[in-house]
């Protein structure tokens, strides 16, 4: 381990920091003075966690190194290849191919390698691969280390037996940045334990198009919630010293607009006016850059006809000039080539290379050949790409490598293996899964269930670790059941463990299967089919209650494309047949995006929504079903009632004199922020510190929250602001702050928030932030108060 003055100082400060935490209320792992009213809010968290760490000044070393590099060495640093370019074999049989490795790292001086070739590898196997790669790098003239990257999306999911957490959409449902940060800390520690210092996460695309097959990889539809959770993720992964043996560099993706395709399909065009881009899609990236994120990955699609990889305005003018980003930008998989084959902005790959590099791409995820290196060298020699641009890109890449400590210790470090699979990690993952579960409906106390009942567990997601986890789990599509940790419980197994196997009957009713032989341009790759619905019905008649597990299998990217959000017909038929028995039914909907269930929802008294809760999801669901845990998750998106009613919570106010404007009344299945509890909460005493404010000072807001039920519980207090009249038609309301509080039965707390004038701004048609005087309304827990901005 390194013992530089900087690190000794960091360790000393870390010890002081830990002492401060013990003497204060910690929110998101950030210490702050104990507030008088014991309130905790997102604004305070962002004020601390959202600040960029200060790193040592490596610029003199970087300038010296760049000055000694040849053109070919510089271009090599800008090249990223996939692991198959230095190995032979696949899956567990993968091994370093010395000839390939020498060509990539020694001859071409490749700066980065990524990914797995098939499925996840063990820590020991990763150590062998990383050690060989870094040994090869030490044979080069300047001994520049390679930066290895993988997708640690919901834990270190490409390292066998890693701790897996809910996917981002599930973590968003917790409304708990502390858990996001803790989960990211675990993911970082386990990733670095394998010798890998760079993760292609978090996804900061804002999920406002639920058809999109990567919807579940987002933090939901609200840019403020996504910003807070994104900062928490970055802070957890990078910490205050990314060279630490428990930290890794992040890569914010996919910059920007990728998540809002017009037709809902992956890697297809988006139409987003720039003021809306700045209002809804750029804020999470801006916040995470301000928090110190080291790298960014680019949108694979296009926005307004401009592919992300050639969008100089966004990559340079906004990201660099406005936001001050000083890390490096990496392309996504083969996306420079696709400028020729798909987007047609370049006649050949050489022109595509020039366009992307000059727009602001620093590193190309080529990743399967040496075309980028060869063509870029030619472009520089021919004068089509200036040397200053090459030096700029290489400087950024080397800066991150220095900050990661790779020049002092490229790894892998065998001592870091002790950070893998630590006993405390499972508890964090279980708590995250529990808090991610949303109790969407609970008519007449349908939940929790009694433990002395005979229970039928049925449905295609009931006995599936795949559904609990989704894509990016051991393999890209999360589809290989044999790779899952068999000690983890499915919903069926968790219910059996909770109330005894003798009290549980399992009949699947339907199943979700993956089509093995299908052309790559056809989707979806999963189909639902009936298996034994009559058997499920017969079992239901013999049971006291039915736990009906519905939802989705695993998917991501193009294989997850669908054209209809409606829950597949076999599942609806199963549900209707079970409902027809007259037995009490509780639905558990395990999914990555909101599948429409309006055909059955009104006839099911109890509904849990579980958004890919991870390996511990089965146990978490059983805990909630039987009352051992009080649910407190809240939806981070609007749950549609019909396939074409895809309005978000911050829609325009359509009601005009009690008449729906354009026949577009807002009537979702479940609203954004919705989530019930086994106890009840009462809001009162909404108070504003003043009725009138100016642009020079803000506003303090307080509200009382009381647990009026008989069970301890957690409640997320969400503060919305409505701009009553604006020069650009305003949203009905926008999230501006939130806080999660825990209350014992009969206990009350006063939650306080502070709003700043900037919280009242919006981006006008000139693409600049505007703060306009007028009336505003604060809305919290069904209460509202107005104030005026002068």
* CA quadruple 472, 478, 480, 481: dihedral sign: positive
This prediction's pTM: 0.94
620, two tokens: 């978490």
What average pLDDT score do residues 245-257 get? 98
Beta pairing partners, 714: 742
List C-alpha distances in Å: 601 to 136, 574, 576, 589. Answer: 59, 13, 10, 11
pLDDT of residue 29: 30
| 500 CB neighbour count, 10 Å cutoff | 12
Name the residue among 558, 505, 438, 549 with its Cα closest to residue 170.
438
**Phi (first) and psi of residue 286, to 5 degrees:** -60, -45
HSE, side-chain direction, 13 A CA sphere, residue 266? 18
Q: What band does 20 get if pLDDT is binned at 50, 70 and 90? A: very low
Q: What is the pLDDT of residues 396-453, one digit of tens each?
A: 999 999 999 999 999 999 999 999 999 999 999 999 999 999 999 999 999 999 999 9
What average pLDDT score do residues 244-259 get? 98
Q: What is the pLDDT of residues 488-536, one digit of tens each?
A: 999 999 999 999 999 999 999 999 998 765 444 444 578 999 999 999 9
Is 413 part of the annotated catalytic residue set? no
- In whole angstroms, what is the distance from residue 714 CA to residue 420 CA? 31
- In whole angstroms, what is the distance from residue 90 CA to residue 782 CA? 56
623, two tokens: 């805990």
- First-to-last C-alpha distance (Å) of the chain: 57
Whether 648 has a pLDDT exceeding 60, the answer reads yes
Lowest model confidence (mean pLDDT) among 71-75, 156-160, 273-277, 519-523: 519-523
HSE, side-chain direction, 13 A CA sphere, residue 506? 18
Residue ranges of alpha helices (H) inside 110-213 are 123-137, 168-174, 177-193
**Phi (first) and psi of residue 163, to 5 degrees:** -80, 125
- In whole angstroms, what is the distance from residue 326 CA to residue 735 CA? 30
Q: Write down the residue that tokens 């191919």 correspond to.
A: 97
Residues with Cβ within 8 Å of 212's Cβ and at least 6 positions away in sequence, in order, are 259, 260, 261, 264, 265, 266, 593
- In whole angstroms, what is the distance from residue 633 CA to residue 619 CA? 16
What average pLDDT score do residues 759-782 get? 97
Whether 28 has a pLDDT exceeding 70, the answer reads no
Q: What band does 30 get if pLDDT is binned at 50, 70 and 90? A: very low
Strand order in the sheet with 295-298: 251-255, 295-298, 328-330
User: 41, 205, 241, 332: which one is catalytic?
Assistant: 332
Name the residue among 426, 571, 614, 588 with its Cα closest to residue 492.
588
DSSP state of 450: P
SS (H, E, C) 704-747: EEEECCCCCEEEEEEEEEEECCCCCCCCCCEEEEEEEEEECCCC
Q: What band does 658 get if pLDDT is binned at 50, 70 and 90? A: low
Q: What is the pLDDT of residues 454-483, one digit of tens each?
A: 999 999 999 999 999 999 999 999 999 999
Q: What is the pLDDT of residues 668-678, one digit of tens each?
A: 999 999 999 99
Burial degree of 12 (CB within 10 A; 0-12, 13-18, 19+): exposed
User: Is residue 58 within 8 Å of residue 402, measured between CB atoms?
Assistant: yes
Whether 19 has a pLDDT exceeding 90, the answer reads no
- In whole angstroms, what is the distance from residue 212 CA to residue 558 CA? 9
Q: Percent of the chain having pLDDT more than 70?
A: 92
| 75 CB neighbour count, 10 Å cutoff | 29
pLDDT of residue 662: 52
pLDDT of residue 666: 82
Q: Percent of the chain having pLDDT more than 90?
A: 91
| CB environment 171-196: b (16+ within 10 A), e (fewer) | bbbbbbbbbbbbbbbbbbbbbbbbbb
- For residue 360, give the H/E element and its range: none
Beta pairing partners, 511: 529
136, two tokens: 């090869």
């Amino acid at each position: 381990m390194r013992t530089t003055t900087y690190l000794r100082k960091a360790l000393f400060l870390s010890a002081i920091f830990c002492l401060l935490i013990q003497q204060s209320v910690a929110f998101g792992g950030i210490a702050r003075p104990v507030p008088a009213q014991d309130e905790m809010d997102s604004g305070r968290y962002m004020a601390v966690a959202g600040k960029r760490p200060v790193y040592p000044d490596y610029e003199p070393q970087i300038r010296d190194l760049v000055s000694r590099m040849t053109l070919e060495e510089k271009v090599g640093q800008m090249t990223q290849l996939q692991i198959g370019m230095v190995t032979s074999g696949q899956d567990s049989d993968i091994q370093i191919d010395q000839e390939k490795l020498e060509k990539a790292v020694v001859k071409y001086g490749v700066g980065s390698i990524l990914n797995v070739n098939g499925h996840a590898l063990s820590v020991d196997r990763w150590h062998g691969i990383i050690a060989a790669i870094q040994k090869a790098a030490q044979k080069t003239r300047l001994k520049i280390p390679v930066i290895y990257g993988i997708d640690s999306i919901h834990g270190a999911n490409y390292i066998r037996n890693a701790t897996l957490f809910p996917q981002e959409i599930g973590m968003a449902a917790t409304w708990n940045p502390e858990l996001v940060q803790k989960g990211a800390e675990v993911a970082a520690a386990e990733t670095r334990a394998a010798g890998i210092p760079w993760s292609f996460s978090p996804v900061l695309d804002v999920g406002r198009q639920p058809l999109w097959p990567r919807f579940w990889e987002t933090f939901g539809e609200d840019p403020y919630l996504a910003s807070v959770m994104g900062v928490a993720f970055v802070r957890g992964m990078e910490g205050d010293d990314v060279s630490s043996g428990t930290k890794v560099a992040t890569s914010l993706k996919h910059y920007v607009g990728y998540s809002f395709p017009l037709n809902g399909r992956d890697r297809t065009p988006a139409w987003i006016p720039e003021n809306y881009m700045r209002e809804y899609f750029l804020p999470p990236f801006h916040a995470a850059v301000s928090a110190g994120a080291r790298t960014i990955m680019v949108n694979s699609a296009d926005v307004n006809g401009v592919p992300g990889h050639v969008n100089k305005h966004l990559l340079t003018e906004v990201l660099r000039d406005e936001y001050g980003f000083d890390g490096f930008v990496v392309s996504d998989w083969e996306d420079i080539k696709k400028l020729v084959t798909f987007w047609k902005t370049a006649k050949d790959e050489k022109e595509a290379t020039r366009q992307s590099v000059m727009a602001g791409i620093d590193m190309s995820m080529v990743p399967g050949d040496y075309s980028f290196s060869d063509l870029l060298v030619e472009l520089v020699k021919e004068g089509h790409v200036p040397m200053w641009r090459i030096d700029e890109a290489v400087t950024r890449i080397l800066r991150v490598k220095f900050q990661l400590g790779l020049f002092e210790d490229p790894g892998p470090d065998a001592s870091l293996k002790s950070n893998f699979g630590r006993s405390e990690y499972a508890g964090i993952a279980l708590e995250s899964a529990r808090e991610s579960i949303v109790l969407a409906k609970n008519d007449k106390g349908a939940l929790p269930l009694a433990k002395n009942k005979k229970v039928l567990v049925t449905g295609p997601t009931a006995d599936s670790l795949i559904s609990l986890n989704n894509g990016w789990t051991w393999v890209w599509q999360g589809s290989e059941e044999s790779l899952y940790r068999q000690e983890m419980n499915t919903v069926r197994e968790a219910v059996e463990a909770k109330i005894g196997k003798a009290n549980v009957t399992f009949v699947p009713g339907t199943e979700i299967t993956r089509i093995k032989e299908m052309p790559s341009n056809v989707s979806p790759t999963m189909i639902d089919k009936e298996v034994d619905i009559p058997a499920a019905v017969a079992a239901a008649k013999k049971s006291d209650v039915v736990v009906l597990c519905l939802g989705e299998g695993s998917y991501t990217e193009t294989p997850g494309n669908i054209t209809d959000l409606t829950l597949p017909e076999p599942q609806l038929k199963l549900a209707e047949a079970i409902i027809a028995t007259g037995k009490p039914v509780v639905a558990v909907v395990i999914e990555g995006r909101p599948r429409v269930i309006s055909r059955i929802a009104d006839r099911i008294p109890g509904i849990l929504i579980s958004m890919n809760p991870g390996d511990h999801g089965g146990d978490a669901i059983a805990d909630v079903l039987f009352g051992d845990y009080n649910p407190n998750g809240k939806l981070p998106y609007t749950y549609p009632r019909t396939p074409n009613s895809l309005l978000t919570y911050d829609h325009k106010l359509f009601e005009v004199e009690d008449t729906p404007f354009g026949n577009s009344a807002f009537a979702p299945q479940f609203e954004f922020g919705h989530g019930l509890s086994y106890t009840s909460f009462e809001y009162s005493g909404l108070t504003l510190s003043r009725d009138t404010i100016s642009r020079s000072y803000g506003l303090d807001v307080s509200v009382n929250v009381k647990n009026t039920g008989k069970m301890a519980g957690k409640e997320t207090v969400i503060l919305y602001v409505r701009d009553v009249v604006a020069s650009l038609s305003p949203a009905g309301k926008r999230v501006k702050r939130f806080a999660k509080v825990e209350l014992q039965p009969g206990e009350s707390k006063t939650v306080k928030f502070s709003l700043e004038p900037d919280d009242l701004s919006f981006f006008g048609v000139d693409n600049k932030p505007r703060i306009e005087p007028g009336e505003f309304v604060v809305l919290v827990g069904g209460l509202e108060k107005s104030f005026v901005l002068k």
